[in-house]
Amino acid sequence: MMPPETEQATPAAETPKVGLVELALVFLKLGTIAFGGPAAHIAMMEQEFVARRAWLTREEFLDRLAAANLIPGPSSTEMAIHIGFLKRGWRGLIVAGCCFIVPAAIMVTLIAAAYVAYGNLPQLNGILYGLKPVVIAVIVQAFWKLAQSAIKNPFLAAIAVLAAVGSASSIDNLSVILVAGVLAALPIICRKARAPKPLLPAWLFPFHGTVPALALVATAASVVPVTLWRLFLTFIKIGSVLFGSGYVLLAFLRADFIVHLGWLNQKQLLDAVAVGQITPGPVFTTATFIGYLVAGVKGAIVATVAIFLPGFFLVAASGPIIARVRRSAIAGAFLDGVIAGSLALMGLVAWQLGRQSIVDLLTVFLFIMSFALLVHTRTNTLVIIIAAAVVGWWHGA
């Protein structure tokens, strides 16, 4: 075993033990303030668990980020589940995942109730105006710190650049990170006389037999009447097979809830996705909104459980394998490539969102101040977010 691999395989012994109550409280906080989508959520987790609390080493964090990007489902929620599992096993897995999801699900349910009662969304434009530059600052500072650990040599830097170009060229994210992993492993494969048979570790898709079955069952359920069971099957299928951004989620939701089932119209679907984007926590709480629209509070609960449930099982299956993957030269190199590709996608998201969010002198000022506070002080992210929200509300008033 090579020394660097040994160092990466066993860092958990050097990190502090975490109580379940403390784990629950910190993820409840993140689930309440984590605006901006998966890239921002992951950046906030890096600041919280690597920089501030030292619960994970940067290598542990990056390995879990790679694993979360290689399985279906919401990557930031799966990062929360990975962290809980790493610190407190099965109980931590459940506590961390649920506490990250529940605050957003409650908020989205309340917004859905207001939507059903009044027919439109609360006006949050001013607050979002102030929040977006802060989100970009959080992503950029986390990207910089993670890249310093992950991009270990010029070869991985070149792979990261290729991944960014590929994603910008509309190649789907899963293909980008898989190719990045294979490229990183190729030099080691070529040096060996005989490559191992499984180039991609089996843990990448541990439920490969289950996913098509779920898809077939849910697709077959295409009759108009609304039932909780059909709602559950439809969302568990989406949670089991969906890779990618909120735009990919929109395509799945349109196919199922407008074309096949006829439960929503186009405006309702777009409003549901908007609510998932503007509220903190996982974007997949779009499912909570749709569940409420079609079946009230019970529908919101069923839809939320169904879309997130596959992620818990996939993380539980893949998490214990990460240390063993690191002990294999080929699999470890593959994981390094996936990390480089994942960070490239994160950087690209920051650039794309920044172009849309930093649009005038005030947003430039908010970005620079937030970035400076995050990099040069120990100011809590929550304080920066609240201050930016107040500035945005005042500007929009």
Assess if residue 102 is contained within a domain: yes
Assess if residue 104 is contained within a domain: yes
Q: Please, is 64 exposed, middle or buried when counting C-beta atoms within 10 Å of its C-beta (0-12, 13-18, 19+)?
A: buried
Assess if residue 52 is contained within a domain: yes
| Per-residue confidence (pLDDT) for residue 82, from 0 to 100 | 93
Tell me how many domains the chain contains: 1
Assess if residue 55 is contained within a domain: yes
Give the C-alpha separation, 328 to 346, whole Å: 26
| Torsion sign (Cα): 149, 155, 158, 162 | negative
Query: In terms of residue numbers, what domain contains 79?
Result: 3-122+152-203+315-355
Concatenate the DSSP letters of all residues of 316-385 into one string.
Answer: HHHGGGHHHHHTSHHHHHHHHHHHHHHHHHHHHHHHHHHHHH--SHHHHHHHHHHHHHHHHS---HHHHH
Give the C-alpha separation, 283 to 248, whole Å: 12
| Per-residue confidence (pLDDT) for residue 125, from 0 to 100 | 65
Assess if residue 270 is contained within a domain: no
| Per-residue confidence (pLDDT) for residue 248, from 0 to 100 | 60
| Per-residue confidence (pLDDT) for residue 217, from 0 to 100 | 40
> Average pLDDT by consecutive 10-residue portion of the chain (397 residues)?
40 67 95 83 91 90 85 87 93 95 94 82 68 82 82 92 88 81 90 55 42 39 74 92 63 83 84 78 91 95 96 87 77 85 82 83 92 84 82 80
| Per-residue confidence (pLDDT) for residue 137, from 0 to 100 | 85
| Per-residue confidence (pLDDT) for residue 18, from 0 to 100 | 84
Assess if residue 304 is contained within a domain: no
Quick one: tokens of 53? 């609390």
| Per-residue confidence (pLDDT) for residue 220, from 0 to 100 | 41
Count of positions (residues) in the chain = 397
| Per-residue confidence (pLDDT) for residue 247, from 0 to 100 | 52
Assess if residue 325 is contained within a domain: yes
Assess if residue 59 is contained within a domain: yes
| Per-residue confidence (pLDDT) for residue 189, from 0 to 100 | 86
Give the C-alpha separation, 26 to 208, whole Å: 33
| Per-residue confidence (pLDDT) for residue 179, from 0 to 100 | 92
Record the pTM: 0.68
